Structure 1
Amino acid sequence: MKRLARFFLAPLFLIAVTLLAVALTSQPAERPKVLAGFGDQPLVIAHRGGRGLWPENTLFAFERAAALKVDMLEMDIRRTRDGELVVLHDARVDRTTDGSGEVAGLTLAEVQALDAGYRWTADGGESHPYRGQRIRIPRFAEVLERFPEQPKVVEIKVPDVGMEEQLCALLEEHDQLDRVLVGSFYERSLKRFREVCPGVATSAGPTSVRLLVALNWIGLGRLVSPTYQALQIPERSGGLQVASEDLMQTALQRGLAVQMWTINEQPAMRHLLDMGAKGLITDYPDRALQLLGRSTRITSLNDR
């Protein structure tokens, strides 16, 4: 019986010692500079510049979102055939422009010849008010040049093509290392970006999110030492509830800013903010601003 007890107790003792060591050495994330100036106010983050209001991922959208005084601009980056970083969500240009084909198979000149306002409609296709308005897919460098002070969320859409180094170089060139929060659905892209651009804020990748959610579910979330500074998550995924008040509290204790995507209806916005969310990534930033009692008047516009 004593031998059987030792057989079970020894592994339990080792587990307990390991957990204690992890608890004693775990460190919360430090608040990054890109978020430091906001205090504790919930952030309004214009998803693709506010794709519900105007053509997504364009200078036109970013200018108007900035004039609304959103807190952050969210955007996606891909690479053209000739190696330029451009701001575009899809792998193909078909959904948002009058062209067709994969952006990776087109040159920058071919991409920028397309009408990026061509497909946008607010009434199910009855009208297309931004056609022929010279709205195009921008280079990422143009966004950095046009909005040097505006905090940005930047998503790397394609792994393993050197975008991490290229992104870091552009941020350094434009002195905006502390003006961005970088995310990706590819954990290896985030790992590589953190290696080549240490100190720049990043969000958790999908594996890191799943790990934190799982550890939190068994009561061990507070042992995590994050290599990231933000937790960008949907309310639900695959029919499962991701966001919870307990997860929000764990994230806060670990120094993480919880930013929810893509939240477009005000009741859901209010519910998530009440749970502890610190940011709303939304297609309709005007709705989030209104909910928070902030102005929805466009105050000024730069010349395009």
Structure 2
Amino acid sequence: MLRVARFLLVPLLLIAIALLVLSQTSRPATPPKVLTSLGDRPLVIAHRGGKGLWPENSLFAFERATALGVDMLEMDLHLSADGELVVIHDSTLDRTTNGQGPVAALDLDQLQALDAGYRWTADGGQSYPYRGQGVRIPTFDEVLARFPTTPKVIEIKVPDAGMEARLCDALTTHDQLDRVIVGSFYERSLQLFREQCPAVATSAGPGSVRLLVALNLLGLSSVLSPSYQALQIPERHSGLTVASERLMRTAQARGLNVQLWTINEQPVMRRLLDQGAQGLITDYPDRALQLLGRSTRISALGD
């Protein structure tokens, strides 16, 4: 029995020493310029440009959300058949346009000939007010050119397709390396992007989120040196609470900006802000702005 205890004691002692060293050498993330430029107030981030209000991921939506007074625009990137970065959420065209099939099967001219406002409805399909109004799938270059100073949250939707390098090149060309946060559900894409574009802020991938949650539960979060600057998480996932008040405090202690998605109801917005959320990614940015007592300027928006 004594020999077993000694056998176990050595690795446990080594683990304890390793954790002590990590806690002494770990460093919190440094807040990026894209976030420090926005100050300390809670951020209103228009999810896909505010998809509850206008056709998602369109120049029209981004223009309206910007005029509304949001802090950041959130958008998604795919690649066309001819290698152009295009702003659309789904891998297929069916849900949001009058087209069908994979985005990657059509070249840019074919994609931009589609009606990207065709499927949008606010009344369950009784009316489609943006059909035939010239709403189309924009290129990422068009978005960068139209909104050069507006902070953006960008999601890489396609791994292993060279999107990371194209994204870095576009941000460099438009001099917007310090105006964006890049995220993805693909850890390998995030790692590759960080290697290719180290000046750009990123958010935690799913593996990094799981690690932070585990360290938080074990009380070992002080050993973490994040390679990312933002924590973008849902309130709940698979029936479990992710965005607990304790986790948000832990994330902020590690220098991370905590942004919750997709938060659409004002009572939930209020509760999460009270618990420590620093940003709300929402389909209805007008509701978040109203809750925060900020003018939405919505009366100034014409039809």
TM range (shorter): over 0.9
Tell me if 1:72 matches 2:81.
Answer: no
Maintained 8 Å contact 1:63/1:301 = no
Match of 1:150 in 2: 150
Cα 1:102–1:161, aligned 2, differ >3 Å: closer, same or farther? Answer: same
Distance 2:9 2:274 in 1: 43
Is residue 68–residue 299 contact of structure 1 (8 Å, CA) maintained in 2?
A: no
1:157-177, Cα deviation, whole Å (9 max, x unpaired)? 000000000000000000000
Distance 1:283 1:2 in 2: 61
**How far apart are residue 298 of structure 1 and its match?**
3.4
SS in 2 for 1:94: coil
| Inter-partner Cα distance in structure 2 for 1:173 and 1:98 | 32
State the Cα deviation string for residues 137-178 of structure 1 (Å, max 9, x = none). Answer: 000000000000000000000000000000000000000000
The alignment's TM-score, normalised by the length of structure 2, stands at 0.97
What amino acid is aligned across from residue 138 of structure 2 in structure 1? P
In the alignment, the residues of structure 2 paired with residue 115 and residue 284 of structure 1 have an alpha-carbon distance, to the nearest angstrom, of 23
Runs of 4+ displaced beyond 2 Å = 1-9, 298-302
Query: How many residues were matched structurally?
Result: 302
| Map of 1:224 onto structure 2 | 224
Task: Give the AA of the match of 1:290.
Answer: Q
Aligned to 1:182: 182
Distance in 2, matches of 1:5 and 1:288, equals 57
Matched, 1:208 2:201: no
2:28 is matched with which residue?
Answer: 28
Letter of the 1:277 counterpart: A
For residues 188 and 12 of structure 1, the distance between their equivalents in structure 2, rounded to whole angstroms, comes to 32
SS at match of 1:104: helix
Partner SS, residue 246 of structure 1 = helix
- Alpha-carbon distance in structure 2 between the residues aligned to 1:164 and 1:202: 12
Q: Distance in 1 between matches of 2:72 and 2:35?
A: 10
Q: In the alignment, residue 190 of structure 2 is paired with which amino acid? A: L
SS at match of 1:27: coil
- Name the structure 1 match of 2:97: 97
Percent same amino acid at aligned positions? 72
Counterparts of residues 23-62 of structure 1 (less than 5 Å)? 23-62=23-62
Q: Which amino acid in 2 is paired with 1:150?
A: T
Aligned-partner SS, 2:298: coil
Give unpaired runs (5+ residues) of structure 2: none
* CA distance, structure 2, for counterparts of residue 145 and residue 114 of structure 1: 21
Which ranges of structure 1 fall in alignment gaps of 5 or more residues?
Answer: none
Letter of the 1:147 partner, please give it. Answer: F
Q: Secondary structure at the match of 1:136?
A: coil
Q: CA RMSD in A?
A: 1.3
Q: Could you tell me which residue of structure 1 aligns to residue 286 of structure 2?
A: 286
Distance 1:2 1:127 in 2: 77
AA paired with 2:125?
Answer: G
Pairwise CA distance, 1:301: 7.0
**How far did 1:12 drift?**
2.1
Residue identity in the other structure for 2:279: G
| Cα deviation, residue 2, structure 1 | 5.2
